[in-house]
């Protein structure tokens, strides 16, 4: 069992650890699935946030969601990609965390998810909190304990 004597870091606000929105690859509700597939492929990320025109978080889109949406009975129907809107196929039941939340909440939630979308109270997308950033921070505290 790891023992970290000073647990104050658990209560620090997550603000410092957020990857800001302008550095996060995302798609818009009205983008079509072909554009989304391009963004996912080019960035290499397996899942990215979906925002509306007011920059509010609406859902998540993954490579799997896109592929599922064009899966026919016998083959993948690529020709349907331009007609499908991101808003129709995205996942809406997604984990999110508030800018005012603490490190501990982020740590707890990141056990189940590779990243969390960070939002303001009104749903405005602020950025993401990734497993990598939180693990790096946790490592610092454990090694200095």
The binding site for ligand 2BA (CB under 6 A) comprises 19, 23-25, 43-48, 114-115, 128, 130-132
Q: Positive or negative CA dihedral for 77, 81, 83, 87?
A: positive
How far, rounded to the nearest angstrom, does the alpha carbon of residue 134 sit from its chain's CA centroid? 14
Query: How far apart are CB 63 and ligand 2BA at their closest, in Å?
Result: 9
Choose between 82 and 95: whose C-beta lies nearer to ligand 2BA.
Answer: 95
Q: List Cα–Cα distances, 15 to 23, 37, 41, 83, 129, in angstroms.
A: 15, 30, 29, 38, 9
- Shortest Cβ 17–ligand 2BA spacing (Å): 11
**Which residue, 80 or 101, has its beta carbon nearer to ligand 2BA?**
101
- Residue 82 or 114 with smaller CB distance to ligand 2BA: 114
Query: In this complex, which beta carbon is closest to ligand 2BA, that of residue 79 or of residue 112?
Result: 112
Q: Could you tell me the smallest distance in angstroms from the CB atom of residue 116 to ligand 2BA?
A: 9
Count of beta carbons in the 10 Å neighbourhood of residue 16: 9
| 130 phi, psi to nearest 5 deg | -105, 160
Cβ 51 to ligand 2BA shortest distance, Å = 12
How far, in Å, CA of 100 to CA of 31, rounded? Answer: 30
């Amino acid at each position: 069992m790891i023992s970290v004597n000073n647990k104050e870091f658990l209560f620090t606000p997550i603000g410092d650890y957020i990857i800001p929105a302008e550095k996060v690859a995302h798609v818009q509700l009205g983008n079509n699935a072909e554009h989304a597939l391009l963004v996912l492929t080019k960035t290499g990320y397996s899942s990215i946030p979906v925002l509306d025109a007011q920059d509010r978080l609406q859902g998540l889109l993954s490579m799997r969601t896109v592929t599922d949406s064009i899966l026919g009975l016998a083959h993948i129907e690529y020709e349907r990609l331009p007609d499908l809107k991101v808003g129709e196929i995205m996942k809406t039941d997604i984990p999110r965390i508030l800018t005012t939340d603490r490190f501990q909440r982020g740590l707890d939630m990141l056990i189940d998810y590779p990243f969390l979308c960070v939002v303001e109270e009104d749903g405005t997308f602020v950025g993401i909190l990734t497993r990598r950033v939180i693990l790096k921070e946790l490592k610092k505290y454990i090694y200095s304990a």
